[in-house]
Chains A and B, each alone.
Chain A
Amino acid sequence: MKRQIKVTSLFQMRDLKAVGKKFVHVMYPKKSSALLRDWDLWGPLVLCVSLALMLQGGSADSKEDGGPQFAEVFVIIWFGAVVITLNSKLLGGTISFFQSLCVLGYCVLPLTVAMLVCRLVLLAGSGTISFIVRLIVVMAMFGWSTLASTAFLADSQPPNRKALVVYPIFLFYFVISWMILTFTPQ
């Protein structure tokens, strides 16, 4: 019995380290196989939940406790990632379904950081200057996310189809960035 518990906890350390390694790979996107070969969906889950938590509480009516918005962010991220993956598979991509979900999910990390920065900036004030700062940060992070995921995903496509694969990714991160930029707390 003791041996069971010991290995289970060793297991969580290994999983956690694998997740951490993938976060680092997203921030410095090079051609690495860690994100692609050992896919896992823990990172995307954590990012999705934290982004959704930070994005709620900005609705006009104060009676709702942000319920529908929370579920909306969730649905947008997961449904969007599934649609992009289906699109790339229909275009003849070689990457597998879950690998693609993994990459798209992990590349939400820069936008989550942008959301954090935006919330901090909004604490300071919500005038024009704060808007400009937020705009710059969100645009930079949006570019980073798109480039990082394109670096991983576009390789699996034949050269004349790369643009067809990249534009849904662009749209996906654009929608998320839009949600982040237009977030105003009550």
Chain B
Amino acid sequence: LDPGEEAGGGGAPRPPPALGDDTEDVSLDLGGEEELALRKAQIRHPLATFFHLFFRVSAIITYLFCDWFSNSFVACFVTILLLLSFDFWSVKNVTGRLLVGLRWWNQIDEDGKSHWVFEARRVSTIAASTEAEARIFWLGLIICPVIWIVFFFSTLFSLKLKWLALVIAGISLQTANLYGYIHCKLGGQKSISRITSRFFVTADVPKSKYQAGPSAINHEVSNADLPHAVGFGFSWY
């Protein structure tokens, strides 16, 4: 260990954890080796990655092989619909935030006007996402709606119209998430170009950033004015 690291672990102040949310990217108080391992890990949120793909892929598989599972149309319909709903909820509320740091929601203010809010996290921390996770996220997000659109045409042309309602529901739920996250991503890139002077990429900054000193002051400032990262904690959904 270099002296910088050891001194950093000692008496330097930690930035305050974000409010109201346990899964927020709080800087973890790990020892030096664990932190290194975490940084090198390909997948930092294995559970989120698994569930991101699990519900979508199970819905598609159930739709394709529903005849093997059960004779009843109703059981298949309800199962696939539930899987699609769980997938929508988990991708919108959990995996997007954890895997790529994006989130979007709708809020209605006192006047009754509804606003759609799209946010992208500006500063990445140690527990932030990796390339592999981001790739899995976007691939899963894009490929599944395309598959459902293929199902739509196959259902339409083979005239199995009773499945049409389900396929349309699947397409709308999955493209809603796709649209929301693309909007977040594009919006985030626009705002990043405006604030590049304050943009801080943690990957380049060594652990000694938490030491007292001139470089630490810069980092403290940009860490402190993270309205997005703090605001990430509340009003979910």
Contact = CB atoms under 8 A, between A and B. Distances in A.
**Which secondary structure dominates where chain B touches chain A?**
helix
Contact of B94 (A8, A98, A156): A8
Contacts of B113: 94, 96
A3 B106 contact: no
Interface of B: 21-23, 45-48, 71-74, 77-78, 81, 85, 93-94, 98, 106, 108, 112-114, 162-166, 236-237
B112 A94 contact: yes
Contact of B165 (A4, A8, A74, A96): A74
10 contacts: A1-B47, A8-B94, A36-B108, A45-B85, A53-B74, A70-B77, A71-B164, A71-B166, A94-B112, A96-B114
A49 B81 contact: yes
A170 interface: no
A4 B237 CA distance: 16
Contacts of B74: 53, 56, 65-67, 70
A6 interface: yes
B162 A68 contact: yes
A38 B112 CA distance: 11
Interface residues of A, number: 33
A66 B98 CA distance: 41
B81 A156 contact: no
B81 to A, nearest CB: 7
Given A3-B23, A45-B85, 8 more contacts: A4-B45, A4-B98, A5-B47, A7-B23, A39-B106, A39-B108, A71-B165, A98-B114
A70 B106 CA distance: 31
A85 interface: no
Nearest to B165: A71
Contacts of B236: 11
A175 interface: no
